[in-house]
């Protein structure tokens, strides 16, 4: 009654097929659409994503505004409000990390990941699609934040091209950070851990920087850390592009502060290259 | 020539646990193999290896003629997977779920849309098509999950405990869908803890325990292995259970089994009607009153008990089964395990 056959024939297809870049892109967009639909149906996440930066704008502008010395402008609350926005924008885009890590951790726990893994789709598309969706969400939040910042006193002084370049740098940074979030989401055991794990390290990272306080005001040992912080390059680069630096402002001597736009783009690309590689590798190995 | 699903010496360990400990089977095209066993027997691990979700430590597996380790992506084009945890996105509507899966099976946007509409109708979900899956009942989610597995009408289907946790009505409805599918020529590997389900749906059954196939054959062949018929009786008084059990153990041809709360006892009866008469006489002589007695064909419960010394439900703790909480009683002179075709 054996139902086991004799020797099986050798595999018929000689070599495994390659998934093309175009297919990977298409699969990623399908997954991105799925995640955007989810975001629309759970709008609380986007709304809370807006409350925090708006709160920071108001608190920092009016509570700290008159007490922080800006090189080139002194203790000028109006100058600080302009100065502040670059920091708030940059901090806001990094907070997309927490959304990516929580979303991916949640997916990995559910049956849906087995569905994806059993489909003939590009392996990295589940992660890439998620990061595309987070990038879209970040863009929307940035837009709303920019509109809110106008009545507080924030203006763009260097024309449309520079403004778009500034937002481009911000989105690139935000995209890089979602890949950090993706790796965190794949490394923790629960979505709850992913949310806090995606956030805690962002506070020291964004505060030990030139985002809220100029590095000139920091102790001598801390200033270089703030100036070499990859996050600072984006903040300063954006301020420069928006024309939010006081006249006569002189950037610190550190290389990223002297070439903030170049440094910002470089740091973001390096972060994407490293974290995307590790995240995709980890996803492929995950056995669920 | 190997069948549509072929496994040879599959081994997979997780830490110290050998989830698969040398599993072989061969499922001819168009037939249904039921993997039957308790929780933790290795059924799900076998499905995960065959559907390319995990790689085996050793052994070989082919699906639709393709090696699952060497050609995972081609295998994925030929299979559909439906599991006990409905793998749908609860924040997407039924339609959106099916369209997404269709596109990820590399259908064009238009084809994915058309196919989604067809499947929603076929699975009687058209009224709920544009509601999020979160609002679906358990049975509806399971149907949606199965529909997702059928988007490209794959020639080979895997269903991991498709009806676990479903109420009898939904289970019956799902059986009908599965039967229809198989009638259409699909090769199916089905795992189940429900003996009745394997009996009903599978052409051949492989009984799995601790990562090994301990018996295989058709439902009838397996039943014959346990020694044919079974004498089953219900005693009137709870106090008479030990006495009746002793009688069955002495006269019967194997392990007795007992369902405590229904006072139901049974034992294999190779002697058939002759044994039945003997049991009645003996019980009467000892003054054991009985509510019901009869001779029946063995169920797969009996098969599992005789193969492993415990019933499937014993190990399947925590899963809501409709079967009785049956407790196998190990009797002396236990039949040597009928080791299938080894």
| Integer Cα distance of B48 and A287 in angstroms | 9
72-111 in B: which are within 8 Å (CB) of A? 72-74, 76-77, 79, 81, 83, 85-89, 91-92, 96, 100-101, 103-106
Residue at which a domain ends, from B167, B182, B217? B217
> Mind telling me how many Å the CA of B331 is from chain A's nearest CA?
29
Residues B9 and B107 in one domain: yes
Residues B237 and B124 in one domain: no
Predicted local distance difference test score (pLDDT) of residue B338? 32
Residues B133 and B48 in one domain: yes
Residue at which a domain ends, from B195, B217, B239? B217
Predicted local distance difference test score (pLDDT) of residue A153? 85
User: Which DSSP string corresponds to A35-100?
Assistant: HHHHHHHSTHHHHHHHHHHHHHHHHIIIIITTT-PBTTTBS-HHHHHHHHHHHHHHHHHHTHHHHH
> Mind telling me how many Å the CA of A282 is from chain B's nearest CA?
14
Among A2, A11, A17, whose Cβ lies nearest the Cβ of B73? A17
Residues B239 and B104 in one domain: no
Tell me, yes or no, whether B308 lies in a domain.
Answer: no
Residues B197 and B56 in one domain: yes
Predicted local distance difference test score (pLDDT) of residue A143? 93
Residues B210 and B229 in one domain: no
Q: What is the chain B residue with the closest CA to A123?
A: B73
Is B51 part of the contact surface with chain A (CB cutoff 8 Å)? yes
Given pLDDT bands bounded at 50, 70 and 90, which one contains residue B286?
Answer: confident
The DSSP 8-state label assigned to residue B262 in this structure reads G
Q: Give the domain ranges of chain A.
A: 21-286
Interface contact flag, B104 A16, Cβ < 8 Å: no
Name every residue in A having a CB less than 8 A away from some CB of B: 1-5, 8-9, 11-13, 16-17, 19, 23, 26-27, 30-31, 33-34, 37-38, 41-42, 110-121, 125, 287-288
CA angle B62, B67, B72 (to 5 degrees): 115
Residues from chain A that touch B26, judged by Cβ atoms under 8 A, are: 3-5
Residues B268 and B181 in one domain: no
Among A1, A19, A26, whose Cβ lies nearest the Cβ of B217? A1
Tell me, yes or no, whether B330 lies in a domain.
Answer: no
Predicted local distance difference test score (pLDDT) of residue B37? 85
Task: Tell me the ipTM for this assembly.
Answer: 0.84
Predicted local distance difference test score (pLDDT) of residue B329? 31
Given pLDDT bands bounded at 50, 70 and 90, which one contains residue A16?
Answer: low
Interface contact flag, A121 B104, Cβ < 8 Å: yes
Long-range pairs, A192-195, Cβ under 8 A, ≥24? A193/A105, A194/A98, A194/A101, A194/A102, A194/A104, A194/A105, A194/A106, A195/A98, A195/A101, A195/A102
The mean-pLDDT minimum among A104-108, A166-170, A192-196, A208-212 falls in A192-196
**Which CATH number does the domain housing residue B244 bear?**
3.30.70.100
Tell me, yes or no, whether B30 lies in a domain.
Answer: yes
The mean-pLDDT minimum among A58-72, A85-99, B101-115, B124-138 falls in A58-72
Residues from chain A that touch B98, judged by Cβ atoms under 8 A, are: none
* pLDDT tens string B165-205: 788 888 888 898 889 889 999 999 999 888 888 888 999 99
Residues B118 and B199 in one domain: yes
For B188, the enclosing helix (H) or strand (E) is strand B187-192
Residues B204 and B229 in one domain: no
Interface contact flag, B65 A42, Cβ < 8 Å: no
Residues B103 and B130 in one domain: yes
User: Can you give the residue range of the structural domain that contains B270?
Assistant: 224-300
Number of domains in chain B: 2
Residues B192 and B290 in one domain: no
Residue at which a domain ends, from B217, B249, B276? B217
Residues B131 and B247 in one domain: no
């Amino acid at each position: 009654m054996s139902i086991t056959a004799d020797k099986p024939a050798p595999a018929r297809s000689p070599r495994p097929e390659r998934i093309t870049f175009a297919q990977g892109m298409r699969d990623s967009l399908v997954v991105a659409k799925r995640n955007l639909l989810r975001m629309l149906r759970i709008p609380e996440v986007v709304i809370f994503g807006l409350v925090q930066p708006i709160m920071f704008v108001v608190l920092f502008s009016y509570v700290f505004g008159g007490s922080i010395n800006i090189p080139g402008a002194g203790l000028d609350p109006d100058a600080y409000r302009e100065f502040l926005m670059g920091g708030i924008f940059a901090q806001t885009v990094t907070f997309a990390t927490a959304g990516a890590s929580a979303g991916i951790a949640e997916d990995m726990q559910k049956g849906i990941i087995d569905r994806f893994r059993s489909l003939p789709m590009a392996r990295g598309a589940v992660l890439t699609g998620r990061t595309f969706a987070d990038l879209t969400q970040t863009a929307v939040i940035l837009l709303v934040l920019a509109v809110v910042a106008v009545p507080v006193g924030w203006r763009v002084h260097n024309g449309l091209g520079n403004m778009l370049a500034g937002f481009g740098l911000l989105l690139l940074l935000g995209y890089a950070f979602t890949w950090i979030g993706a790796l965190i989401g794949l490394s923790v055991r629960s979505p709850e851990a992913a949310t806090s794990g995606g956030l805690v390290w962002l506070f020291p990272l964004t505060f030990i920087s030139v985002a809220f306080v100029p590095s000139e005001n920091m102790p001598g040992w801390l200033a270089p850390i703030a100036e070499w912080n990859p996050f600072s390059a984006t903040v300063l680069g954006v301020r420069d592009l928006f024309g939010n630096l006081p006249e006569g402002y002189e950037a610190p001597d550190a290389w990223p502060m002297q070439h903030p736009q170049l440094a910002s783009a470089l740091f973001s690309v390096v972060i994407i290259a490293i974290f995307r590689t590790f995240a995709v590798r980890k996803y492929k190995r995950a056995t669920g | 020539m190997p069948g549509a699903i072929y496994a040879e010496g599959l081994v997979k360990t997780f830490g110290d646990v050998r989830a698969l400990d040398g599993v072989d089977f061969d499922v001819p095209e168009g037939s249904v193999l039921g993997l039957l066993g308790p929780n933790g027997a290795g059924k799900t691990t076998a499905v995960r290896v065959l559907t390319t979700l995990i790689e085996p430590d050793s052994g070989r597996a082919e699906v639709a003629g393709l090696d699952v380790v060497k050609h995972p992506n081609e295998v994925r084009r030929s299979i559909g997977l439906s599991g006990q945890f409905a793998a749908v996105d609860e924040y997407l509507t039924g339609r959106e779920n099916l369209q997404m899966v269709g596109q990820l099976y590399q259908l064009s946007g238009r084809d994915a849309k058309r196919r989604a509409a067809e499947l929603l109708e076929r699975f009687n979900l058209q009224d709920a098509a544009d509601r999020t899956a979160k609002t679906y009942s358990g049975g509806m989610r399971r149907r949606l999950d199965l529909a997702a597995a059928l988007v490209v009408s794959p020639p080979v289907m895997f269903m991991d405990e498709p009806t676990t946790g479903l109420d009898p009505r939904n289970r019956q409805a799902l059986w009908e869908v599965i039967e229809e599918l198989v009638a259409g020529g699909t090769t199916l590997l089905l795992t189940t803890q429900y003996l009745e389900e394997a009996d009903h749906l599978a052409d051949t059954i492989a009984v799995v325990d601790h990562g090994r196939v301990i018996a295989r054959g058709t439902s009838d062949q397996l039943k014959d292995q346990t020694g044919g018929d079974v004498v089953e009786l219900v005693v009137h008084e709870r106090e008479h259970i030990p006495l009746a059990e002793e009688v069955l153990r002495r006269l019967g041809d194997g392990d007795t089994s007992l369902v405590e709360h229904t006072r139901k006892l049974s034992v294999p009866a190779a002697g058939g009607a002759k044994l039945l008469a003997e049991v009645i006489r003996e019980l009467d002589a000892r003054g054991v009153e009985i509510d019901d007695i009869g001779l029946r064909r063995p169920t797969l419960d009996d098969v599992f008990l005789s193969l492993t010394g415990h019933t499937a439900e014993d190990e399947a703790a925590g899963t809501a089964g409709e079967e009785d909480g049956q407790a196998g009683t190990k009797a002396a002179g236990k039949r040597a395990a009928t080791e299938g075709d080894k």
